[in-house]
Amino acid sequence: MAGLDQRPIIIKKVKKAAHAHHGGAWKIAYADFVTAMMAFFLLLWLISMTTPEQKKGLADYFAPPNVSPANSGAGGLLAGTAMDATGAKMAGSALDAGDDVSISPQNTQFSSERAGLGGGKGDAGQQDKASGSAQDKARALDERAFQAAAASIRQAWQSLPNITDIADNLLVEETEEGLNIQIVDQEGQPMFPEGSKYPFEQTRQAIAALAPILQQLPNQLTISGHTAAGTTYPNPRYGSWELSSDRANTVRVLLGEFGLSDDHIAAVSGKSIGEPFFPNDPYMAANERIKITVHHEAPPVPPGMTP
């Protein structure tokens, strides 16, 4: 028994190897992926809800004001060419077969040197070319002036802290007809009291900021008032036509009070519910607006031609 008691006691300790701990990096990556997808679909939704005019306005807002959108020609939209009177050909293109041109007595084909021989259209071709060049230059000057004016208008509005709440109601964009400045209603954020021709104080300040900038442009401008469909008027003798006309004329008076001379204004009109901002939904609040359009200046008359 003594021998048994002297035996060494051996204790075996078995260590179990634990599995490596799984990190949470995949959760962060998955969250980033979901967030990116949500932002992507939100962007698609916003793009589908905006109109081409709004997209153009956003693009113009972020575009540098002193950079021409073209890279060739005179820097204008037509890249150094101009449309002729028919609107189908560019200046300097071939003449129509029905025009009065010089015809060689020996041949029924058009003479290739009719312009140089002083034919019926020889001088007219030179005048058309001069007219097209004048239009290109005038268009290029207008483009640069409109870009600078749009940048100045946005800067003037941004410097007015009182109109921050209506920043989304103020739109400036360059279009084919000229520089468009629109003061539009938003749902829950009108620019005029209901049925009134006098704007809110914030709207008045935004309009007043336009006058000194528009005064520096030599171009003529038009002012038009627009209303949304579905509005009821308590006075049967005073409706959307009268209200839109009165609002446009009130804007003209405000611009005049703050520095815009009358010789800059070509026309003031009320459009009622015509020409809605959203043609597919004439009842939207944004259809009620004031539109100021600075038109392209007429090119100078070429020598030898009368207006």
Please give the Cα distance from 173 to 181 (Å, whole number): 7
> CA distances (Å), 131 to each of 26, 35, 66, 127, 300, in order?
67, 56, 26, 6, 8
Q: What is the pLDDT of residue 208?
A: 96
Block means of pLDDT (10 residues each) for the chain, length 307 residues? Answer: 64 64 77 92 85 77 54 44 42 41 41 44 54 71 89 93 91 92 94 95 95 94 96 92 97 96 95 93 94 82 51
Q: 134 in helix, strand or coil? A: helix
Candidates 96, 88, 85; CA nearest to 127 is 85
Please give the Cα distance from 132 to 95 (Å, whole number): 15
Candidates 168, 156, 265; CA nearest to 212 is 156
Domain ranges of the chain: 118-299
Q: What is the pLDDT of residue 186?
A: 92
Q: What is the pLDDT of residue 72?
A: 44
Provide φ and ψ at 280, rounded to 5°: -75, -15
Joined together, the tokens standing for residue 299 give 């090119």
Q: What is the pLDDT of residue 45?
A: 87
Structure confidence by residue, pLDDT tens digits, 105-152: 444 443 444 444 444 555 555 555 555 666 777 778 888 899 999 999
Pick the CATH number of 118-299 from 3.30.930.10, 3.40.309.10, 3.90.1300.10, 3.30.1330.60: 3.30.1330.60
Sheet holding 170-174, edge to edge: 170-174, 178-184, 289-295, 221-226, 265-270
pTM score over 0.75: no
Q: What is the pLDDT of residue 141?
A: 81
Q: What is the pLDDT of residue 71?
A: 45
Pair 230, 288: CB distance under 8 Å:
no
